[in-house]
Amino acid sequence: MAPDTKLKDHTMRDIARPNNDTLYIGCMLDLRKDPVILEIPAFDSKYVSLMVTGYDHYVNVPMSVTKGDFRKPENVLFYTARTEDYDGKSVKGVDRVFEMTGDFVSAVFRIMPHANEKARFEKIIGQMQSVKAMTLSEIQGKPAKAINDVQFPDVGQTDLDVYGNNFLEVMQFVVNHTTFDPNDELDKAFLAALKPLGIEPGKTFDKNSAVPIDGKRFRSIAEKVRESEFARAMDPAVTAEHGQSMFKTKGQMSLDILLMQSVIGPIGLPATEALYPPVTTKDGQPMNAQNDYVIRMGKGEMPPAKAFWSLTLYDSANGFFIPNDRKKYSVGENAGMKGNADGGIEIYIAAERPKGVPVENWLPISRKDEKMDAILRIYWPDLEKMKSWTPPKAEKLTKK
């Protein structure tokens, strides 16, 4: 259990396009020996969700404010078809039971901390710190079962290392700890593709008898796929067409979409929870830190969010925050913003704060030849209004 009670800054280099408007609680669950129960408090926040995912990259959101959750404390139990001595029955003191497809699960809470409201922020931090994870054995007053009998394969520094070094070993481990649906077309195709390589559920990987593969070629192909899928993810046309189809449960996505989200990372939320439209420029050219920009939204053009929205600035090359002394990387209710008298807002991306512009609406940059990406996050989007809403365009300001 790892509550993250500080907003990210430009020193964050672990993931691309980090979030600066919600805090996280990360839980890694091993469900092989025992179910795991999360003890969850009520939260005093506009937006809270619990996302769970396994090695298959499907995203489940068993709890969210969009479903009326987190208004009262609850205990939620997670298990898989392989969990020992448990068959999915109800347990005294447990409010919900959720079956996962993977034995090793990433469970992530996203919480808007209301950082601009000091007392509320501190209250929410306390609520985050009260989340607990316990095994079913512990809930029943028994000792926790030992879970030291697993040997994880080496996965290197990135996914590309796996393709180059030990793809077969890793995939054998993955299929041995994942539930596959015999009626799901993607599951069937996935297993069929691996079978000629000697990978099947239940088998033990043996390096000496493994099918020989060209790891260098595998990695080269993976690099090309990664590059093309990242480009697709930033293409407004692709976002408009497929943005609401990503990060869904098994049976609700095509192979094409599953590939794209697997490459960029299975850490996003489905459209019912959040949408991430990019902001492009009026002249069609990439934003560059050699120029200043303004993003204008009138009262009727604001993002249709039922919870809240934000706009975050990144460097295009790595997807990291733009370093600045003010540690200001996003504009929104949590990070700070000021609307104009007409109910709209102007957000400035500039090396120096323009005269008369509220500091809350200024995203500082360093003057250099660096491409930039501006990404909107719309939490609990009004999907009906999203059908006719268009993201704003960044307008390059004329140099004086």
pTM: 0.86
Placement of tokens 């094409």 in the chain: 256
pLDDT of residue 398: 80
Higher pLDDT, 304 or 245: 304
pLDDT digits (tens, 9 = 90+) for 112-158: 999 989 999 999 999 999 999 999 999 889 998 988 788 899 988 88
Look at the domain 277-396 and name its fold: Jelly Rolls (2.60.120)
Query: What is the rounded average pLDDT of the residues 36-48?
Result: 97
In CATH, the number for domain 2-139 is 2.60.40.1610
Average pLDDT in the chain: 92
Res 229 pLDDT > 90 = no
* Nearest Cα residue to 374 out of 285, 300, 305, 277: 277
Residue-level pLDDT at 73: 98
Checking if the pLDDT of 266 tops 70, the result is: no
pLDDT at 7 over 90: no
Instruction: Give the number of other CB atoms < 10 A from CB of residue 189.
Output: 11
* Residue 259 confidence class, pLDDT cut points 50, 70, 90: confident
- Region at 202 (left for phi over 0; alpha for psi -120 to 50; beta for the rest): left
Amino acid at 334: N
The Cα 252–Cα 249 span in angstroms is 6
Q: Report CA torsion sign: 86, 89, 95, 101.
A: positive
Token pair, residue 126, equals 């306390």
pLDDT of the residue at 244: 78
Per-residue pLDDT at 233 exceeds 60? yes
Q: Where are the alpha helices (DSSP H) in the chain?
A: 118-129, 136-139, 159-165, 167-176, 185-194, 215-233, 236-242, 255-264, 383-386
Give me the residue spans of the domains in the chain. Answer: 2-139, 159-213, 277-396
Say how far apart CA 100 and CA 145 lie, in whole Å.
20
Q: Judging by beta carbons within 10 Å of its beta carbon (0-12, 13-18, 19+), is residue 207 exposed, middle or buried?
A: exposed
Q: Tell me, what's the pLDDT at 238?
A: 79
Two tokens at 288? Answer: 């560059």
